[in-house]
Amino acid sequence: MFSLRMPLSFDSWRESARVLLARGVPPEQIVWIDSNQDALFEDLSDFPGQTRFGLRISRFFIQRARLVACHRSDDRWALLYRLAFRLTHDDPHLMQLRTDPDVRRFELMGASVSRDRHKMTAFVRFRRSSIDGVDWYVAWYRPDHFVVRLAADHFRDRYSIMNWSILTPDESVHWDGQQLRFTEGIPTPLKTEKDEVESLWRTYYRSIFNPARIKTSAMRREMPVRFWDHLPEADLIHGLLKEAPSRTRQMIRHSERTDL
């Protein structure tokens, strides 16, 4: 039994997996432990196998595996290795069997990571503040998975002329107009001052809502309640729903609609 204790990133996993696969080490014999300690790679020379070279694995798998590696579940490295092993030793077409339990889980994990990355690009809310007289846009956000690095380029491309920081519990990212920098996480929201634009935004949110059409399940599905904390508009929802019936009745009463 091997246990791999190291700071796991996709690249470090890939490095180790390459060696293990070449040796033909079966998935059941490896425990992957994500740890901040230095890499501890047990000596493989006792493993009684021959090293095989030139193992090939599909590009599709590697691309998706990068996403799956950002999933928060502990078994992701084991799942990736199991799939990589099956792909190289059993069935090169495995990824096409989309109802195979491993493949299915791989697909679902990848989908939730990419959804989470997308949600991050949607729900980050910057507040403008000033650092040494320079505008700096700061947001605190809590993603479900480890998606800060996946989403960073998006924010860089979009806000290239601004200075900004996105702080999350896992890791923070900053842009100063020149380069992206990653620093350690910030566990709780910062106490920043309200941005005056927020009241305009809240007014917009209130006005664009049509009280005659209530569909809260669609709202909750697309904008899960766990994200509401840091959305400046979310605390309006309760009140809007409460007054919706009376606003609708009023609209009927005041309806100037001539009969059509």
By C-beta, is 89 or 202 nearer to another protein?
A: 202
Residues 20-39 that bind another protein (CB under 8 A): none
DSSP labels, 193-255: PPPTHHHHHHHHHHHH--TT---HHHHHHHS-GGGGGG-TTGGGHHHHHHHHHHHHHHHHHT-
By C-beta, is 23 or 118 nearer to another protein?
A: 118
Sole window of 22-30, 37-45, 142-150, 153-161 interacting with another protein (rule: CB under 8 A): 153-161
User: Among the residues of 97-147, which ranges form H helices?
Assistant: 101-123
237 touches another protein by CB under 8 A? yes
Backbone dihedral angles phi then psi of residue 33, each to the nearest 5 degrees: -120, 120
131 touches another protein by CB under 8 A? no
181 touches another protein by CB under 8 A? no
58 touches another protein by CB under 8 A? no
| Among the listed residues 55, 180, 212, 225, the single contact to another protein using CB under 8 A | 212
| Among the listed residues 2, 41, 47, 205, the single contact to another protein using CB under 8 A | 205
160 touches another protein by CB under 8 A? yes
246 touches another protein by CB under 8 A? no
By C-beta, is 186 or 244 nearer to another protein?
A: 244
Which residues, listed in sequence order, are joined to residue 30 by a DSSP beta bridge? Answer: 2
Q: How far is the CB of 193 from another protein (least distance, A)?
A: 14
Backbone dihedral angles phi then psi of residue 131, each to the nearest 5 degrees: -120, 115
C-alpha 69/C-alpha 226 separation (Å) is: 23
Question: CB count, 10 Å around CB of 25?
Answer: 18
CB 2 within 8 A of CB 29: yes
Which residues, listed in sequence order, are joined to residue 137 by a DSSP beta bridge? Answer: 128, 164
C-alpha 78/C-alpha 29 separation (Å) is: 10
C-alpha 39/C-alpha 84 separation (Å) is: 21
| Among the listed residues 19, 97, 131, 180, the single contact to another protein using CB under 8 A | 97
Q: How far is the CB of 211 from another protein (least distance, A)?
A: 8
Per CB under 8 A, residues contacting another protein are 93, 96-99, 101, 104, 118, 121-128, 137, 139, 154, 156-162, 195, 197-201, 203-219, 221-223, 231, 233, 237, 240-241, 244, 248, 251-252, 255-258, 260
